Structure 1
Amino acid sequence: MSDRRRARSQDDGGAGDGVDRTPSSRADVCIVGAGPAGALVAHRLAAAGADVVVLEAGPRFDISRRTEAQERHIRPGMGDPWEMGGPRDAYSTAGREYPLNAARVKGVGGSTLHWQGMVMRLHERDFELATRHGVGTDWPIDYADLRPYYATAERALGVAGAMDNPYAPPREEPFPLPAFPPSYSDSLFAEACERLELDMHSVPNARNPEPYDGRAACQGYGTCKPVCPSGAKYTAESHIEKARAAGARIVDRVPVQRLEHDERGETIEAAVYATPDGTEHRQPAGQFVLACGGVENARLLLLSESDQYPDGLANSSDAVGRFFMDHLFAGAGGRLDEPTRQNHVGFNTSECHQFYDDTGPVEGVKLEFLNYAGPSPVIEALGADTWGDELLDRLRESYGTHVAIGGLVEQLPDAENRITLDPDRRDDHGNPVPNVEWSLSDRTKRAIRRANEIQHAILEELGASIEWTVGPDATGPAFHQMGTTRMGEDPERSVVDADCRTHDLSNLWIVGSSVFPTGGAMNPTLTIAALSLRAATAIEESL
């Protein structure tokens, strides 16, 4: 090997791509994670003139190869389009099974690479759950505090929506983009809901009905989750690129192993990361921001234990990893005696918040009218034992006559639902893997049953024959991991303050859904974005 090639191999950590993965001499801000939270903070601070380094555990995926990623998803047996799995992503569960790898991505863009793209604001009650209902806890901020940042986040992501939701919290201006029109099956549901005196309204989506912010309009591929070939759906790659253009340095394939603090345990001095060949480096900075999700934020703090923090970094409250929450899925579907006149639409266009503050269970319930036409004809055909006209007739009978209603149900915070370290299982760097300890309370199960009752009533009014129900015993998570580094005013009961700065270390900040004290029943990404923009303001003031 020539001296030049040898030096290049050392710089890129053995990846062979020529990317320099050695540390910057010293950065103003080091951000761990290049998902939506990290990307927005990186862009805001870099645009303000800060020297920013972003360390991302996963790779940078080539945007020009999204059609290939779509094919990997569509064709059975071709594997995951986002390279999840193996020792790098190993985990364990205790209690109820939690399939962590079913819907997460390590890479530049994070969860927005595969998300469905629905973006709702939390309701005012979500910030005051203890005060209003005597359960859960209150946030140290209220809706009014976050309201201007919600508006900024909607513009940043490019949210398409309409002001037709009578149950939504107050807002200051229209959505940046017009809402997507309701599907034909939405019109069928609308007739049944009108007779039942139920309100349907549009879904805010972070995808373009028309070109916006350099991204194309939606082309209707129908594979939004897990991949959008057109680029119409927002991904955090957009703000990572804006951060890079503003001077930020983005380093991929460098999982952070631990954070190291000063002798007094008051500030973080460096993030220790590994390159693809296993070499460890220390990245110093003035401020540090954790932005690697509800599971990995907590895991990294627990891995960073020290003499001053024997139970994990920033964990004097014993709250790191605790109060893990997700949204639970409730759903029902069936068949109509008429065609739904649609091909698969990859996202929801109508929903109902009428039962979010229902007088029944305290837990919030959000109903979603699914653009679902039946089982995938591709999968049905590939698994069929017949061919020709007989197969075609079978596909015509099974596809295009189905309807379904989904829903998200709130899970209240519980200290025993938590992320811990598994002492018996290691990842590819020899670190304990995350262990998800998760269970459902009787309260949550009652709320899921309540959602099923409403869904059945709508389907019966529609005249559908109900063929399946996802209730308390069959429910699964929406993969919205929240609550493991909760915010609060009391350092003895929380991990970060209202600005997302840790109580224990003055230069360590945490952004993302892990800081949520409660989860509501709204998809969390818009709140992640709003909180991240709010935290970025505080971080900028501290520089």
Structure 2
Amino acid sequence: MTVFDLDKLPPDTELTTEVCIVGSGPAGATLAAELAGSSLRVLVVESGGREPEAAVAALNEVENVGAARVADQALMRTRALGGTSRIWTGRCGELDEIDYADRPWVAHSGWPVTGSELRPFLDRARPYLGLGPNLYDERLWAVLGRRPARPPLPEARLVPRFWQFSRGVTDPAGPTRFGLDVLPDAVGDDAVDEPRGLAGAGNVNVLLHATVTHIDTDDTGAVVRGVEVASTSGRQARIRAAVVVLAAGGIENARLMLASNRVVPHGVGNGNDLVGRFLMDHPGSVIASVDPGSARRLRDRFGRYWLDGPDGRQVYLHGVGLSPKAQRDAELLNCAAFLEEYPAPGDPWHAGQRLASRLRGGGGPAQDEVALASFWRREDEVPEPTAVRDALTLARNAPALATGAYRMTRRHRPPIFQASRVDLYCLVEQEPDPSSRVTLSDRVDGLGVPLSRVDWRVSERERTSIGRLAGLLAQELGSLGYASPEPAVWLKGGDAWRENVIDRAHPIGTTRMADDPRAGVVDRNCQVHDTEGLFVAGSSTFPTAGHVNPTLTIVALAIRLADHLKARGRADQLAWAPSPSVSS
């Protein structure tokens, strides 16, 4: 692998490759890794460098005109090697079978592929994400070597849900960072500054500081020809490619297609006015709270579970969701809830982690506390006691430490730490809505590309589904002998509920997949219906969102797309560009 830097190439360089991948996040990096060693020449184009830079990050600015979204784009996406995987928390899950179905009560639902078809690719995605078995329902209990949790939930209404946390290669304490872990050869001290041909070391190469400003096509807009790129310092280049794969995220993929309007005024691949429509996310909110003093049994059941094996420790989180029957009977959306636990300043386990961090030369909050202070949580929840206070906390809590140590060594569960607050947090899917969309703003970024104009819509069906789950949890958990959750006040009605849900940086659906060009932007192989050779990877192709974090499905679809591109290359060599070269 050779890493080029656009800022170090001659002005107006022209590059030729066979496959150009736009973006180096989970979708782009996985696709590149799967194509490595094939007969295809691949160039990964990354907007940023190896580390985030302010001038490049400014290109993420959006104009928001819809429901409130997190305004600070630095919390939502990153333009640097590895993309947004640099800042994700690592939570993974698998879509339910009902998520793929055409549901009569959910307009525009239904995938052109089934969960069974994606199953082999989900399994192949595990090594990229450092995951254990892809089991996210009651089948996991047997793998954990445990009996199902008792007393059982009323399965006609509520079902167990699990999430699994990605484990990185470079830093197993954190999730996969797709730059460091999947494209490690691209992580180095310097980039090639002389064009010597893109043959490089292997068939996959990387171009940094190259932001795509236009997707080029033939004179009809029906066949892709490549992309134009620019750096924030003003350097420009043209990349000729027989295949272009957009893997730049749910907002950016749509923006690039709409802004590529020199040949087709309404944007490349947008013959049916669908690009940018059906924008979805996972609206999230605290739906109930539990008194920390009486929540120990609840936290024990719905906490984290460890699965230890030869490759290390996998961590699963247990939660609860609406059953498929409950969704069908009441015409609801898929949603699930899990516990959000805030450590008390006097908790000995977090005190010990802080002391250990100070001994290693750190000194801030423990790493998991930093993760807890994510954008959907209050930063003032991060405790910052002094080292002396932490040492005293440890000395005063020897029995609690002993109990936690027993739990860790004998039960393979993390300790139940002292909590200042325990909430039930819900994520809900959205009903696909064509009026929820990304269009182009009248304003432009530093490279002259129109900003994304984001009109995100949240519907009453989302509120109804969240409210139903909250009501069932309050009713059923209390009847099973657990501390009864106190539902959030905002669930009681009124328009204020929209102010209490927040997006989770999971933009989905803006280039949705469908067999019919009148219903979607890409086909089942993720090729744009209107434009030969143009493909899209990532969550923007999802027809529906489910309730789970999208990264596992993103990686699985990228693997599936790689298989398709390799088969296509073998079957139709004449469709590909000639051997890669660099000219100026």
TM class by shorter chain equals 0.7 to 0.9
8 Å contact kept, 2:50–2:80? yes
- Partner of 1:265, secondary structure, is coil
- Partner of 2:251, secondary structure, is helix
Matched, 1:126 2:99: yes
> What pairs with 1:446-465 in structure 2 (closer than 5 Å)?
446-457=464-475, 462-463=482-483
- Partner of 2:465, secondary structure, is helix
Distance 1:375 1:412 in 2: 40
Report the equivalent of 2:138.
166
1:226-247 deviations in whole A, cap 9, x for unaligned? xx4xxxx112222223689744
8 Å contact kept, 1:330–1:409? no
Report the equivalent of 2:456.
438
8 Å contact kept, 2:284–2:501? yes
Report the equivalent of 1:88.
59
- Partner of 1:145, secondary structure, is helix
**Structure 1 pair 31–462 and aligned structure 2 pair: CA distance change class (3 A):** same
Report the equivalent of 1:52.
42
8 Å contact kept, 1:31–1:42? yes
1:2-45 deviations in whole A, cap 9, x for unaligned? xxxxxxxxx8555xxx6899857411110101111111111111
Deviation at 1:298, TM superposition (A): 0.2
1:336-362 deviations in whole A, cap 9, x for unaligned? 2268699x9998621224535523342
Deviation at 1:542, TM superposition (A): 2.2
Distance 2:464 2:255 in 1: 31
**Structure 1 pair 122–167 and aligned structure 2 pair: CA distance change class (3 A):** farther
Report the equivalent of 1:71.
none
Distance 2:490 2:84 in 1: 25
> What pairs with 1:191-206 in structure 2 (closer than 5 Å)?
194=152, 200=160, 202-206=162-166
Deviation at 1:517, TM superposition (A): 1.1
**Structure 1 pair 465–535 and aligned structure 2 pair: CA distance change class (3 A):** closer
1:174-202 deviations in whole A, cap 9, x for unaligned? 99xx87999xxxx9xx67x6577765454
Q: Which amino acid aligns with 1:99?
A: V
Deviation at 1:203, TM superposition (A): 2.5
Report the equivalent of 1:350.
318
**Structure 1 pair 162–436 and aligned structure 2 pair: CA distance change class (3 A):** closer
Deviation at 1:528, TM superposition (A): 0.9
Matched, 1:517 2:543: yes
Match of 1:256 among 209, 212, 219: 212
Between 49-58 and 505-514, the greater mean CA deviation after superposition: 49-58
Report the equivalent of 1:6.
none
Report the equivalent of 1:148.
120
Q: Which runs of 5+ in 2 are unaligned?
A: 188-200, 306-314, 348-364, 366-378, 398-416, 492-496, 570-584
Distance 2:61 2:290 in 1: 37
Match of 2:27 among 34, 37, 55: 37
Deviation at 1:468, TM superposition (A): 5.2
Matched, 1:103 2:76: yes
- Partner of 1:129, secondary structure, is coil
Q: Which has the higher contact order (CA 8 A, sep 6+)?
A: 2
8 Å contact kept, 1:345–1:372? no
8 Å contact kept, 2:57–2:79? no
**Structure 1 pair 369–501 and aligned structure 2 pair: CA distance change class (3 A):** same
8 Å contact kept, 2:334–2:428? yes
Report the equivalent of 1:326.
281
Q: Which amino acid aligns with 1:51?
A: R
Distance 2:316 2:110 in 1: 30
**Structure 1 pair 260–195 and aligned structure 2 pair: CA distance change class (3 A):** closer
8 Å contact kept, 2:12–2:236? no
CA RMSD after TM alignment: 4.0
TM-score by length of 1: 0.76
- Partner of 1:337, secondary structure, is helix
Q: Which amino acid aligns with 2:483?
A: G
Distance 2:39 2:145 in 1: 37
Distance 1:497 1:434 in 2: 24
8 Å contact kept, 1:294–1:512? yes
Report the equivalent of 2:243.
287
Report the equivalent of 1:300.
256
Deviation at 1:155, TM superposition (A): 3.1
Deviation at 1:164, TM superposition (A): 6.9
Aligned sequence identity (%): 28
> What pairs with 1:484-503 in structure 2 (closer than 5 Å)?
484-503=510-529
8 Å contact kept, 1:294–1:483? yes
Deviation at 1:274, TM superposition (A): 0.6
Matched, 1:241 2:184: yes
